[in-house]
Structure 1
């Protein structure tokens, strides 16, 4: 079978990997130039590495992602599990909290190895073409006929693709109703003493949490330690369209209250915005994908919970639905 997967985040990569391993022809389309979705990393001054999406990976030992980690990405793996303040996103007692010294993109890059990934390509439409499904770009260029399509894009983007797909109108309306919290992130390098904690949640102010990137085996560069600041949902929504200067004016004084005065004037900063960060509500994947549908929805909008493990499970569900057809 020929299968198109739209989105090279974790759900899309799990589905593609499972289908390729079962002997099928799979092509993954990704609108950005990167891989992994929220498993994202950036380099800053002095070659510092910072994770500006998911801060750490919660990996149940019997979960979907555990096998990929063990098989593909054990080098430079760091366990940042620590007693005390919970790591952001932690919801599985006893599950290790993992990161990679080289950045959280390490796992999706390993998962994508050997897959056909077409990056910087935005899919604009999915239409029936006889017994096949035609996938086309925004400009109308045809990307090929497929037996199945797996859509892993965020709610509203997935809805646009479902609109004109077979049996897609009602599902499109459901996906369009899924609400997301936005996230504005500030990446900062400051000449401060490296704290003992990995994650800190201020009790008041605009910051949801701060992560200390040194805890991921990324020591300070030339005396400058690296931190990622995630603003809370309300502050992020207020500042999503604001200038970087406005974001920093809100974030840096709050950061300095935690790290000390030098953090008010960091050595360098970057601002990253996530319009579709975390879902406020979710749909049931099986109910959204009725029997007979050949355009399947996976991803965070239909995940059982907020963890990346939950998102990965939706990709495996889609692959198994196709393999069992």
Structure 2
């Protein structure tokens, strides 16, 4: 009996690979350090419901991803989001000419990864710290010192800085992952009991601590009675204020938001801050996925391609394809 394939990480890249391998009849076992799937597409539970604090939307340009997103839409996992979109430049608000099609998970972003995970075997709250090779098979060790295995192949689908440590058995792959610089992002949610008097539903921001803001209720399937806004700080601001206490982050980003939005902004009835340490790669790469087929070790993630949700999905496909080709 062949040993199963281990996949570390249940973000969109890991689940993309898992689905393809499962469909090809391979036995897989997923691991994730979080309590649920999704990675940066995860939705955060809060006192006022689920909040999309990570990926705000995604676009589909590659034909393969377009087809998959259409399937997600047909199954009710995703819907098109058509916000009233603005740009803010030097404190001036103007309508955005951007007409790309944007997609979101419904009724929340994590609906997609939850559906992709389905009934696949997964171990949550299990942080893998080491991937090591025995005579014929791979074994994994977690942060509690527990060993998992044996596995025939391992796919590492975590952000690059975490991946480089797990790829130590293949120095070339580890070096490639270590060369990727990931940028941080502070995310803040603000809820208001009375809706703000503004037509803005999404806004790209320049010359501000903020980079992006979105009105949650403008997204399909969201039924929160509060007027919830999600703010993303710019990478440079986030980097400079990486260790700022959450209260101070909320205060500063609330101030920037109130200044920019062009209407009266009362005190929020609810606030929450979350720090994404590895929000996106600083630059795009064209690796598809990293592979040492002879060893049976692979890595995938948005950092192998574009830094977008689409890039993560395509990278997972690439890792699975290479692994299946090697098995053939």
TM-score class, shorter: 0.7 to 0.9
Number of the residue aligned with 1:15 = 17
Q: Is 1:270 aligned with 2:272?
A: yes
Moved more, 253-262 or 289-298: 253-262
Over residues 132-177 of structure 1, what are the superposed CA-to-partner deviations in whole Å (9 max), with x where a residue is unaligned?
A: 11222233321111111000111121111111x2xx1232122112
Residues 80 and 198 of structure 1 are in contact (CA less than 8 Å); yes or no, is this contact kept in structure 2? no
- Shift of residue 194, structure 1, vs aligned partner: 5.4
- Shift of residue 255, structure 1, vs aligned partner: 1.0
List runs of 5+ in structure 2 lacking aligned partners.
88-97
What is the CA–CA distance in structure 1 between the aligned matches of 2:165 and 2:277, rounded to whole Å? 16
Matches within 5 A, 1:123-142: 123-142=128-147
Residues 288 and 315 of structure 2 are in contact (CA less than 8 Å); yes or no, is this contact kept in structure 1? no
Change (3 A) 1:84 1:125: closer
Number of the residue aligned with 2:157 = 152
- Shift of residue 84, structure 1, vs aligned partner: 5.6
Change (3 A) 1:291 1:322: closer
Number of the residue aligned with 1:104 = 109
3-state secondary structure, aligned to 1:263: coil
- Shift of residue 240, structure 1, vs aligned partner: 2.0
3-state secondary structure, aligned to 2:41: coil
Q: Is 1:207 aligned with 2:210?
A: yes
Change (3 A) 1:195 1:79: farther
Matches within 5 A, 1:283-294: 283-285=285-287, 288-294=290-296
Number of the residue aligned with 1:189 = 191
Number of the residue aligned with 2:251 = 249
- Shift of residue 241, structure 1, vs aligned partner: 1.2
Number of the residue aligned with 1:90 = none
Matches within 5 A, 1:62-141: 62-64=63-65, 66-67=67-68, 70=71, 74-75=75-76, 77-81=78-82, 85=86, 96-141=101-146
The two structures have a TM-score, normalised by structure 1, of 0.87
Aligned length: 312
The two structures have a TM-score, normalised by structure 2, of 0.86
3-state secondary structure, aligned to 2:176: helix
What is the CA–CA distance in structure 1 between the aligned matches of 2:111 and 2:179, rounded to whole Å? 33
List runs of 5+ in structure 1 lacking aligned partners.
87-92
